[in-house]
Amino acid sequence: MPLRVLIVDDNRDAADCLGLLLGLLGATSQVCYGGADALAHAPEFRPHVGLLDIDMPGMSGLELARRLRVLLGRRRVMLVAVTGVSSEEARAATAAAGFDWHLTKPVDGTTLAGRLLAFHRTTFPADG
């Protein structure tokens, strides 16, 4: 089964580009443009990974991460903060919100792909 990635970013171009990149790598993605949309799709999509923009209107990526952790319960999901801010304060905030990894924009596709595929192979070996 392919890696399932929930991509959430209010910048439609950025979200769509990440979805295309991951699709080329064989992953299945669900692209959402806000937190409420992501919460609506996550239970059925059952993501292995969530790539969440932090600075979004309505619901920040920090709040979305907290809600996804509750909504998805025991299911193991790697949450990746995707943000333009790389300060220690920003990294501490994403860690406190339940993120596993803090990724600074612009996203390095090779690094992202390698880390996500390694996570998928080691965490979900039966999936592929």
The structure's pTM equals 0.92
According to DSSP H, which parts of 10-99 are helical? 12-24, 35-45, 61-72, 88-96
CA separation, residue 56 to residues 41, 44, 62, 117, 119 (Å): 17, 23, 10, 27, 26
Which CATH number, 3.40.50.2300, 3.40.1480.10, 1.10.530.10, 1.10.3720.10, labels domain 4-123?
A: 3.40.50.2300
- Tens of pLDDT, residue by residue over 52-111, are 999 999 999 999 999 999 999 877 899 999 999 989 999 999 999 999 999 998 888 888
β-bridge partners, 52 = 8, 81
